[in-house]
Amino acid sequence: MTTPGEVTTAEPMAPEQHPMSRFLREDRMPHIWCSSCGLGTTLTCFIMAVVESGIDPKDMAVISGIGCTGRVAGYLNFDSFHTTHGRAIPFATGLALANPDLRVVVYSGDGDLVAIGGNHFIHAARRNMDILCVCVNNFTYGMTGGQAGPTTPITAKATTAPYGSYEYPFNIPYLAVASGANYVARWTALHMRRLKNSFREAINKKGFRVIEIISPCPTAFARKNRLGTGLDVLKYYHANSIIQHGADPKDADIEMGGKIIVGKFLDVDRPCYRDYVTESISRQLGGK
């Protein structure tokens, strides 16, 4: 699909710096994402939220798994870790525990986080680990050519589902809420302002926070299912998204051609893992 190349020798043309350049590894541009893919938009929203939150990027770390979204860690000019497929969350868990001053963000895709990494997702939520988990859901394995995944809607086609998918997909907000997350929201790549606000809100919270972003994959999912260009997919989101804060996440299933319920499903302040550790140890051992 793309060539993950090194820095090209394209002649410098922009005299001014890109407003986000200090947050990006410009020596790794151009990125590998396809034209009209939603990932760039989600990253823009994330960076804007970091700027608005006033947090020094030095105090943040971003961990990704494998896949198109997994490349986020390579482009953000933060301490960033590109791990193995599915394992961003446990890597982030160790990092967050060793350095509690860091704000740890896992930024990865649906296949990475809820298929191969699904066990880590539910257990990090159960522990309420201090991680902001961003899941960009494009319903497919885009980087490898569009195979069916854990979120592929029933009947949707994929290179490994030529007759349409027969499996029920995961409803990620429902999974996250049931597993014990502190904060769960869903937006599409079209809802830039709301997504940014959600990022800002979640960055400043503790515990396990999940933001799912429904995002177009023009090259694989949209093409395979004749959904048109990336722009057409965004228009679909515009026509079919229903903002419904506080909705019961069990009603937020996504079906081919159906409505997409977005909004903030959950925002609570259960004590996170480290709160329990600190409290319990100091009570039993009399402080460290």
Partner 1 sequence: MAEDRRVLTGEHFLNGDHACAEGAMAAGCKFFGGYPITPSSEIAERMSERLPEVGGIYLQMEDELASMNAILGAAWGGWKSMTCTSGPGFSLMMENLGLGVVLETPCVLVNIQRGGPSTGLPTLVGQADMMQARWGSHGDYEIIALAPNSPQEMFDLTYKAFDLSERYRVPTLVMSDECVGHMSEKVVIPPAGKMPEVQRKYTTKKPGEYLPFDHPAGGVAPMVKAGDGYNIHVTGLTHDERGYPVINAEAQDVMVRHLIDKINKNRDDIIDVEEIDVEGADVIIVSYGISSRTCYRALDMAKEEGLKVGMFRLVTVWPFPEEQVRELAKRVKAFVVVELNFGQIYYEVERCACGNAATYLVPHAGGDIHDPADILAALKEAAK
Q: Residues interacting with partner 1, by CB under 8 A?
A: 3-6, 25, 27-28, 57-59, 61, 63, 73-74, 77-84, 86-87, 89-99, 101-102, 119-120, 123, 277, 281, 284-285, 287-288
| SS3 category, 196 | helix
Q: Which CA distances in Å does 115 have to 6, 15, 109, 147, 150? A: 30, 44, 10, 13, 6
DSSP category for residue 184: E
As a whole number of angstroms, the distance between CA 90 and CA 83 comes to 10
Q: Which CA distances in Å does 95 have to 61, 91, 203? A: 9, 6, 17
Nearest approach, Cβ of residue 44 and partner 1 (Å) = 19
Report the residue number, 80 or 219, with the smaller CB distance to partner 1: 80
DSSP H stretches of helix in 165-272: 172-179, 192-203, 223-224, 230-240
Report the residue number, 91 or 141, with the smaller CB distance to partner 1: 91
Nearest approach, Cβ of residue 199 and partner 1 (Å) = 20
Burial of 257 (0-12, 13-18, 19+ CB in 10 A): exposed
Joined together, the tokens standing for residue 152 give 């592929």
As a whole number of angstroms, the distance between CA 107 and CA 63 comes to 6
Nearest approach, Cβ of residue 34 and partner 1 (Å) = 18
Contact indicator for 145, 138 with CB cutoff of 8 Å: no
Nearest approach, Cβ of residue 182 and partner 1 (Å) = 18
Nearest approach, Cβ of residue 63 and partner 1 (Å) = 7
Nearest approach, Cβ of residue 2 and partner 1 (Å) = 11
Report the residue number, 73 or 203, with the smaller CB distance to partner 1: 73
